[in-house]
Amino acid sequence: MTLKVYGDYVSQPTTAVLLLCLANKIDFELVPVNLRTGEHLGPEFKAINPTGQVPVIDDDGFILSESTAILRYLAVTRNVPDHWYPKDVKARARIDYLLDWYHTNLRQIAVYVIQKELGPTFWKIPRPDEAQLKPAQGKMTASVEILEEFLLKPEEGPFLLGAPQPSIADLICSCEYTLTRYLPQEEQEELLGRRPKTKKWLKALEKTLGRHYSEINKTLPELLKLVADARSSG
């Protein structure tokens, strides 16, 4: 039975799972769950995942949610090349660390972008003022700074923690950065302008997985326009 992935392109963790599948020719069927209309909070989806969060997979009846758990499970069950989630105990621990750090730190990008842009655009949440945004913005900037200063070692390799080939950590983290595209141009420049190692890392991933990123980001232009329009109309 073909793997089912319940999700929405606007959800970055969903796109990370799709990216792993595309990069490894894992057949899947995307079952759309429309976050903008609140489909994820309806009884039908909650029957599949009581937390109402995407992505969720159905692997021939085995239901699993949490993107990073899904990425690990697919890497192992589909026997993908070792670099995605190495078997070596220490190499694997380093990937696990990055995946945990993503949850506790880098996911602040989503918190900020949702609060500032996506919430007001898609769910008619009142636009927060600068003071209200400050905590999330601070955490986001701190995380982006940590990745730039400590988690990239281009002298060793182009991917996270100096790896020569990408891992599932590179997928989930890079997909998170895509969210910054929803911010005004000046803000994107502010965030990534002085972070050359980050830009280089994102380029390296683009080079390795180019057409797959295009596939997972295919609804992005339309979504970006909606956000920009909402911002200019106040």
Partner 1 sequence: MTIKVYGSLMSQPTRAIVLLCLANKIPYELVFVDISKLDHKKPEFTALNPAGQIPVLDDDGFILPESVSILKYLATSRHLPDHWYPVDVKARARVDYLLDWYHTNIRSNCYVFEKEYSSLVSWKMEPDAVAIRSYEQKMNSSMDLVEESFLKAEEGKGPFLLGSSQPSIADILFASEYAQTQILSQADQERIFTGRDKTKKWLELTEKTLDPHFAEVLKPIADLSRVLEAARNGN
Is residue 219 within the footprint of partner 1 (CB under 8 A)? no
CA neighbor of 109 nearest in space, from 66, 142, 82, 149: 142
Cα pseudo-dihedral 215, 216, 221, 222, rounded to 10: 110
Which tokens is 210 given?
A: 């180019």
Strands of the sheet with 28-32, listed across from one edge? 28-32, 3-7, 56-59, 62-65
Residue placing its CB nearer to partner 1 in the complex, 94 or 231 = 94
Residue placing its CB nearer to partner 1 in the complex, 100 or 189 = 100
Closest separation in Å from C-beta 172 to partner 1: 11
Is the alpha carbon torsion for 120, 124, 125, 129 positive or negative? positive
List the x/- string, 32-71, binding to partner 1 by CB under 8 A.
------------------xx----------x-xxxxxx--
Residue placing its CB nearer to partner 1 in the complex, 72 or 116 = 72
Is residue 107 within the footprint of partner 1 (CB under 8 A)? yes
Q: Tell me if 3 sits within 8 A of 27, measured CB to CB.
A: yes
Is residue 222 within the footprint of partner 1 (CB under 8 A)? no
Residue placing its CB nearer to partner 1 in the complex, 148 or 215 = 148
Which tokens is 158 given?
A: 């182009």
Pick one of 100, 156, 190, 229: the residue that binds partner 1 (CB under 8 A). 100
Cite the beta strand spans of 34-94 per DSSP E: 56-59, 62-65
Pick one of 96, 187, 206, 215: the residue that binds partner 1 (CB under 8 A). 96
Q: Are strands 62-65 and 56-59 parallel, antiparallel or unpaired?
A: antiparallel
List the x/- string, 143-182, binding to partner 1 by CB under 8 A.
---x--xxx-------------------------------
Q: What span, in angstroms and rounded, lies between the C-alpha atoms of 59 and 69?
A: 13
Q: How many residues form the binding site for partner 1 (CB under 8 A)? A: 31
Q: What span, in angstroms and rounded, lies between the C-alpha atoms of 111 and 133?
A: 10
> Which residues are at the interface with partner 1 (CB under 8 A)?
50-51, 62, 64-69, 72-73, 76-77, 89-90, 92-94, 96-97, 99-101, 103-105, 107, 146, 149-151
